[in-house]
Structure 1
């Protein structure tokens, strides 16, 4: 009887290990599929950009000739737009998350707000473009295709993502830390400022970085609010016309010349990816440094 029980236990252990190996292989294949696909795409685009991505391309305005075309105005416009979006989205998103998690009661109104925030995170970007067109252009009259209109419109697009990620980060802070702060005589405001926000900041930064990564590549909202496809100068104010790299790349892809469709477009895509990775890297370094100091 004991031998039979031992045999059944051995068989069960072998089956479990076999299932574990299958599960590990499936998850590894899923991870490698995404990584390899992205790597192939990057290599393909980078090869096409060779010979086109140089200092002249980065410092020159658009030109009808592919050899003279540049992305400088769109490059500056995208960077300025990202800074503006971050300045608008981060305080609004974190402030809303703090209120919903620390101050709002768990009533029907709060649940209604939470449900709508979750739904807004999945709304197509073109809908936010229509919202920006109706609200900021036609109602408030900020002007078609201005930097300020684009900043507010794209900020509305990523704001639900920032709020949700900030809520999750704040929710992950243990209640014992809050109770310890209250036990030391701290007020609720002091507890949030000195305990909750520092502990949740790495998670908040992660969500903000992902949201900004989505924002820099958006084209549909910019088209809806009338952002020019091509400009020849950098924006000199919040109400100035500007263009962004996705708009300029989209315009080049519609040119009949194959040199634009492959070489110039690929150089623009590589530039966009480099800017995106640079912004993400800087944000990640700031997040990690802050996390190290607090820990």
Structure 2
């Protein structure tokens, strides 16, 4: 199995699964849990769980949360390249989950914004780089993300990029993001991100437009499954059945499952690669938390 270097955020997720109807100005029942999160850490943890050799490059604060997350990820089999940033808290994400499983997030990225180019290990022969788009969408870690991507492309490594989130992506600029990620092998947007990046109203058309820029595109469609687009070929797979509890981290799980299958056999049928991602996503949405 080819080794993977993941560059991205390490965070604590505070997940509040809300009950009942909204109650502005009053109380609303919720089941609240605290778990490990961060897009980069989620992908790395899932890859390790699937037996993929994986190293995670990122930053944590000099606090109990950072120490706990390091211990958790190391215990899960992730090789750690995490720098501790003095005087800065570890990132925290508050996820508010509605009864139907949809969520909104409040982000304090903390030490993740302090990532530097020298925090990312140099790619080795045959490595794969997975870059979380969050690394590019803020001026703090952007130089590190760009340096990692350029070094991987120069070394002949394959590269996957997750655009991360429509809000920050729109603020950052579509053209800027597309230029930054030139040379990437595989783009992993969700449907909304694919539409934003192309201006296309239809997910399939958006995937085809992106496939004119990237060799491979995998578009996650939530309850509608996912698309694999290569050139002018489009493969659709339906979502795996799941009793949805929390969609937090579903995209990260999909990315990890897909990557593990694709890296194990780059010639595998696209339907099988998509199914591997969808299967892991279905397991994750059936419980609170991203991993």
| TM-score between both structures, scaled by the size of structure 1 | 0.18
Q: Which is strand-richer, 1 or 2?
A: 2
| TM-score between both structures, scaled by the size of structure 2 | 0.18
- Structure 1 or 2, whichever has the larger Rg, is 1
Q: Which is helix-richer, 1 or 2?
A: 1
Q: Which has the higher contact order (CA 8 A, sep 6+)?
A: 1
